[in-house]
Amino acid sequence: MKLPGKVKLVDVGPRDGLQNEKDPVPAEVKIGLVHRLQDAGLTEIEVTSFVSPKWVPQMADNMQVMAGIQRKPGVRYSVLTPNMKGFEAAVDSRPDEIVVFGAASEAFSQRNINCSIAESIERFAPVVEAARARGIHVRGAVSCAVGCPYEGEIPPERVEMVARLMKQIGVQHLGVADTIGVGTPVKVQRAMDAALKHYAIDDISGHFHDTYGQALGNTLASLEMGVWQYDTSSAGLGGCPYAKGATGNVATEDVVYMLQGMGIDTGIDLDKLIDAGKYISDFLQRQPNSRAATAILNKRMH
Ligand code: HMG
Ligand code: MG
């Protein structure tokens, strides 16, 4: 066991979470969520995506949201850019980091970004080059790193292949994503091991959806390997529009509660984080999808 002493969480709720809401969420509410997350101590927030508004209308207000954020020093604001068109649109909004998103599954790549894995790498290459030339950090996401809604189980060799291709085109950081939350600890460790063939431990992260309730276990299994960066979602918001039935990312609140209990520093104020999750949940007229948030909110009432 080589548990890290500190962990960095990237809250992807404003993007991965809110991209999945059926009813529109106004830009002001998204901005309000980002402000609350940064006040709670999050140092990286995945704000929005520059994708086709026909495919994902929920993110069509990307410019407005980016322009409305009062940036806090030391916080990194990231956005998804699947191609040059997305990158060119994003650049004016001054993201600190862009995310190119590929997949370890051919079928998912087709459904999600309308091209094969090989074509996606060709599309990403100029995006990565343009971003790095401007000093913008580049993260790559590998969706379906353990399982795919169309192809079923995905072997670690596929993750290894995509990691190699991402490395070759200059992607600086690799996120290993269990898009549909089917992974279990040993499978996730194998996917991480595959990514580690091409990326250093400091340059990989875990992105676990919690569909089958395995995300905290998968986080712990990755922590035991020394992985210290994770994408999580405030109030457990979200899912993926191209992975039907998949639920949100593991709730940031649950991961922070676990890490605090383990004595691992996140720099996040759990009470303020609960307030951020409550703010967006109140807007969506539902309870936060987080056990820790539910427990703490119940306690506050008594
Ligand atoms: P395409 O149709 O193959 O693109 O879409 P195209 O280049 O052929 O262009 C077709 C039309 O789209 C044109 O418009 C383009 O201008 C426009 P038209 O002439 O017909 O009016 N277009 C764009 N518009 C705005 N922004 C752009 C853009 N690119 C083209 N960037 C594309 C390819 C990738 C754009 C499309 O498939 C798409 O938008 N897909 C949505 C992908 C998405 O957002 N998925 C959800 C996020 S990924 C995720 O959640 C997984 C993750 O969390 C990790 C995990 O959990 O696994 C990251
Ligand atoms: Mg996701």
* Closest residue by CA, ligand 1 atom 32: 113
253 lines ligand 1 (CB under 6 A): no
Q: What angle do CA 212, 45, 196 make, to 5 degrees?
A: 60
User: How many residues comprise the chain?
Assistant: 302
Place of tokens 């189980």: 153
Q: What angle do CA 269, 93, 234 make, to 5 degrees?
A: 25
Task: Give the pair of three-digit tokens for residue 100.
Answer: 């190119």
At residue 239, the pLDDT reads: 67
At residue 175, the pLDDT reads: 98
Task: Give the pair of three-digit tokens for residue 76.
Answer: 């990194």
301 CA → ligand 2 middle, Å: 33
269 CA → ligand 1 middle, Å: 35
Task: Give the pair of three-digit tokens for residue 253.
Answer: 């609140």
51 lines ligand 1 (CB under 6 A): yes
Nearest to 69 by CA among 53, 50, 85, 46: 46
285 CA → ligand 1 middle, Å: 29
At residue 240, the pLDDT reads: 67
* Closest residue by CA, ligand 1 atom 37: 113
* Closest residue by CA, ligand 1 atom 25: 52
Q: Yes or no: say if 77 and 42 are a contact pair by the CB < 8 Å rule.
A: no
> What residues have a C-beta under 5 A from ligand 2, the ion?
16
240 lines ligand 1 (CB under 6 A): yes
CA distance 283 to 53: 23
Instruction: Quick: pLDDT tens for 203-254.
Output: 999 999 999 999 999 999 999 999 999 999 999 998 666 777 788 999 999 9
Q: Give the number of the ligand closest to the Cα of residue 49.
A: 1
Instruction: Quick: pLDDT tens for 3-23.
Output: 999 999 999 999 999 999 999
Q: Give the number of the ligand closest to the Cα of residue 182.
A: 1
Q: Is 148 a catalytic residue?
A: no
* Closest residue by CA, ligand 1 atom 22: 52
CA 208 to the chain's CA centroid: 8
Q: Give the number of the ligand closest to the Cα of residue 57.
A: 1
* Closest residue by CA, ligand 1 atom 34: 113
Q: Please list the ranges in the chain whose pLDDT falls under 70.
A: 1, 239-241
101 CA → ligand 1 middle, Å: 11
At residue 243, the pLDDT reads: 73
Which of left, alpha, beta for 58 (phi over 0: left; psi -120 to 50: alpha)? Answer: alpha
Residue 63 half-sphere exposure toward CB, CA atoms < 13 A: 7
206 lines ligand 1 (CB under 6 A): no
147 CA → ligand 2 middle, Å: 13
82 lines ligand 1 (CB under 6 A): yes
Tell which one of 51, 105, 111 to mutate to probe ligand 1, the residue whose CB is within 8 A of the most ligand atoms.
51
Domains and CATH numbers, the chain: 8-301 (3.20.20.70)
SS3 of the chain: the string is CCCCCECEEEECHHHHHHHHCCCCCCHHHHHHHHHHHHHCCCCEEEEEECCCCCCCHHHCCHHHHHHHCCCCCCCEEEEECCCHHHHHHHHCCCCCEEEEEEECCHHHHHHHHCCCHHHHHHHHHHHHHHHHHCCCEEEEEEECCCEECCCEECCHHHHHHHHHHHHHCCCCEEEEEECCCCCCHHHHHHHHHHHHCCCCHHHEEEEEECCCCCHHHHHHHHHCCCCCEEEEEHHHCCCECCECCCCCECEHHHHHHHHHHCCCECCCCHHHHHHHHHHHHHHHCCCCCCHHHHHHHHHHHC
